[in-house]
A and B are shown apart, each in its own frame.
Chain A
């Protein structure tokens, strides 16, 4: 059974710092991995999607990497801003199990202090 773990559970940094969020998964048989952002009481916004054949994806100040063999992904946020404060979730789409179900980590709650 696929399990996804995110470390740390919470992170607080001063504005302007670069930071890394970590995600690990137990089964390397995945189609893809996604990083999402969730604001309090809101739904999810997709940030980056990395296919299993890819190593990284970039969007603006965000860069996500994927090392499928070791079961790890990182989300790098450059020059953090207070507006980046949110919970960040990673999710994998397993190859087994059918459909397009996603398995989520528990998220990292990020606070950027002005």
Chain B
């Protein structure tokens, strides 16, 4: 089956620093990738939709200048949390879809736990 990886799996950083999280589709090309955030014991909230070669589409209430998304290739999307603060501490999960006709399945990465001190 399709595999999506994320790196790092966890990261601890100081307040004010920037953190980059990578999302890779390992055995398929992902025309679209999605970034979600999950707070403890809560559900996943979509942050943005990332399309290869174009600007990401952010959900309402998500600061695009704080959460920079780059989808430079068909197998890699990155999320950079700029000037991170403790309230940004969360579990960040990406998903990818191949974009093939009739393919509705999104494949999820294992997530990245971000802790901002």
Task: Show the binding face of A for B, using Cβ within 8 Å.
Answer: 31-32, 34, 36, 41-46, 49, 51, 89, 91, 93, 99-107
The A interface is mostly helix, strand or loop, or mixed, namely strand
Say if the beta carbon of B104 comes within 8 Å of chain A.
Answer: yes
> Please, which residue of chain B has its CB at the minimum distance from the CB of A4?
B43
The B interface is mostly helix, strand or loop, or mixed, namely strand
Q: Kindly state the separation between the CA atoms of A105 and B42 in the bound complex, as whole angstroms.
A: 9
Chain B interface residue count, CB cutoff 8 Å, equals: 24
Name the distance in Å between B17's Cβ and chain A's nearest Cβ: 23
The residue that A106 contacts in the complex, of B42, B49, B97, with Cβ under 8 A, is B42
Given A41-B111, A99-B49, A100-B97, answer yes or no on A31-B104 (Cβ-Cβ < 8 Å). yes
The residue that B43 contacts in the complex, of A43, A51, A106, with Cβ under 8 A, is A106
Of residues 42 to 74 in B, which have CB atoms within 8 Å of A's CB atoms? 42-46, 49, 57
